[in-house]
A and B are shown apart, each in its own frame.
Chain A
Amino acid sequence: MEHIELFFKSIFVDNMIFAYFLGMCSYLAVSKKVATAVGLGAAVIFVLAITVPLNWLLDQYLLQEGALVWLGPEYADFDLSFLSFIMFIATIATMVQLVEIVVEKFSPGLYNSLGIFLPLIAVNCAILGGSLFMQSREIETLGLALNYGIGSGIGWFLAIVAIAAIREKIRYSNVPAPLRGLGITFIITGLMAIGFMSFGGMLTGGDDEATEDNLETVDGMVTAQKDHKTSDFVIEETNDTDNK
């Protein structure tokens, strides 16, 4: 349940482009044709799926406060999290290089379709953003980190393919001259973002209601179980809060 929730949340609710504007530079520059957009999108999914779990391991065993405790109890007070920017970006840059070399060696077909985009990705905000959000949201397990990486990659993929398709069509429309190209792309992205905002309540069924239910049922779980109208999801949530 946790996995499915995080997966859909990172695709739709916390969409990299429409909610946080990450990776906008390449999103605007490489979205003129659907074919190239698919290539770049696939490369982003690929790289996010590798770097987010890797940076999760780094964060967990090297950077967080107390993460160095595996070296010995005297290291328990060390907090290296101020180094996380430089560690994350170094990991990303080296991983991108490594992936490029490996893919070129073992899968020339994939290299031809992804290859030219891989160097571009090292400085794509979506990749670093994925790792930084992973850190600030305190994702708990390696599996969830992998899940989050793939999910936000797919979200980015959907966004760039959609805008590329729209831009291919809009070439035949009569857009006011000063808006042509960049201007109209911004406005369309804004409208798409408004559309994506409607996914906001998809998972919780509205945050406010959920907390009200919690308040009612925290007093005694019995009331919640008797009340058949309360969905299973809410009961699970109250279980969590009780345990805490």
Chain B
Amino acid sequence: MRLLSKKDSKLIMDPLADNNPITIQVLGICSALAITAQLKPSIVMAISVIFVLGAGNVVISLMRNIIPSKIRIIVQLVVVATLVIIVDQVLKAYAYSLSKELSVFIGLIITNCIIMGRFEAFALANGPWQSFLDGVGNALGYGVILVIVGFFRELLGSGTLMGFKVLGDPVEKTGLYAIGYENNGFMVLPPMALIVIGIIIWVQRSKNKELIED
């Protein structure tokens, strides 16, 4: 027997590729790009969003029958804000330097359009278990793009991954630097995040022609 039924696993797998929140639905770009200059903050951001979206979807789904539809936006905002405060306090307690680095962008998870979008589109109409899977799936789809962008920007921009010098030492000229390789400092600057995502979209849509816009 499989852990997840076919329909359930579709909920998780779809957002990872053909219905990716960033490259296809164009949601949640706001708080994502500025923190992808390095891999580590990207991963932390991805985990935070997985937690907030998974838990938030369950809470909204449990309350879906008692929320008056007129004030649902405020209710949703309060639920997200509470979850984000938890994430922020945990980060401040256990990873203070990282939380300084992410600064306001943890707070901006509140207005991340993926979260409101999934609440509106899914959690208000489905049961808690499916909502949880949908939330985790979408957050994973978001996280995958974040990690890919963070990976390339850190590797090409600083020659490191998670802080380890994988390409050798640029000062002592070891590894790749011995044969004249140079870091592309441009990759660390904010504009390159946009261009890297543009390229990811290009690659994805070349592979799957159905996704091409008119």
- B81 contacts A89, C-beta separation under 8 Å: yes
Contacts of B211 in A (CB 8 A): 178
Contacts of B189 in A (CB 8 A): 194, 197
Does A215 make an interface contact (CB < 8 A)?
no
Q: Which residue of A lies closest to B23 (CB)?
A: A182
- B85 contacts A86, C-beta separation under 8 Å: yes
Known: A128-B111, A129-B104. A86 touches B213 (CB 8 A): no
Does A39 make an interface contact (CB < 8 A)?
no
- B197 contacts A83, C-beta separation under 8 Å: no
Does B74 make an interface contact (CB < 8 A)?
yes
Does A202 make an interface contact (CB < 8 A)?
no
- A191 contacts B201, C-beta separation under 8 Å: no
Does B110 make an interface contact (CB < 8 A)?
yes
- A186 contacts B110, C-beta separation under 8 Å: no
- B194 contacts A187, C-beta separation under 8 Å: yes
Could you tell me which residues of chain A, from 177 to 230, have a CB within 8 Å of some CB in chain B?
A: 177-184, 186-187, 189-191, 193-194, 197
Stretch at the interface among A14-22, A58-66, A107-115, A146-154: A14-22
Does B174 make an interface contact (CB < 8 A)?
no
Could you tell me which residues of chain B, from 1 to 47, have a CB within 8 Å of some CB in chain A?
A: 23, 26-34
Q: Which residue of A lies closest to B92 (CB)?
A: A82
Stretch at the interface among A2-10, A23-31, A46-54, A70-78: A23-31
Contacts of A193 in B (CB 8 A): 190-191, 194
- A128 contacts B191, C-beta separation under 8 Å: no
- B23 contacts A21, C-beta separation under 8 Å: no
- B30 contacts A22, C-beta separation under 8 Å: yes
| A186 and B214 alpha carbons, distance in the complex (Å) | 17
Interface size on B, residues (CB 8 A): 47
- B202 contacts A21, C-beta separation under 8 Å: no
* Number of A-B residue pairs with CB-CB distance less than 8 Å in the complex they form: 139
Per a CB cutoff under 8 Å, which of B33, B89, B204, B212 touches A21?
A: B33
Does B176 make an interface contact (CB < 8 A)?
no
Does A133 make an interface contact (CB < 8 A)?
yes
Does B84 make an interface contact (CB < 8 A)?
yes
Does A136 make an interface contact (CB < 8 A)?
yes
| A127 and B113 alpha carbons, distance in the complex (Å) | 13
| A177 and B212 alpha carbons, distance in the complex (Å) | 7
Distance of B176 from chain A, by nearest CB (Å): 26
Distance of A143 from chain B, by nearest CB (Å): 22
Does A122 make an interface contact (CB < 8 A)?
yes
Known: A20-B34, A25-B29, A136-B104. A125 touches B85 (CB 8 A): no
- B81 contacts A25, C-beta separation under 8 Å: no
Known: A25-B29, A82-B89, A85-B88. A93 touches B191 (CB 8 A): no
Known: A86-B81, A123-B113. A21 touches B104 (CB 8 A): no
Does A158 make an interface contact (CB < 8 A)?
no
Does A36 make an interface contact (CB < 8 A)?
no
Contacts of B194 in A (CB 8 A): 21, 186-187, 189-190, 193
Residues of B participating in the A interface, judged by any CB pair closer than 8 Å: 23, 26-34, 73-74, 77-78, 81-82, 84-85, 88-89, 103-104, 107-108, 110-113, 116, 189-195, 197-198, 201-202, 204-206, 211-214
Residues of A participating in the B interface, judged by any CB pair closer than 8 Å: 18-25, 28-29, 82-86, 89-90, 93-94, 119, 122-129, 132-133, 136, 176-184, 186-187, 189-191, 193-194, 197
A-B contacts, 9 of them at CB < 8 A, read A20-B34, A21-B194, A85-B85, A86-B78, A89-B77, A93-B74, A125-B111, A183-B201, A191-B191
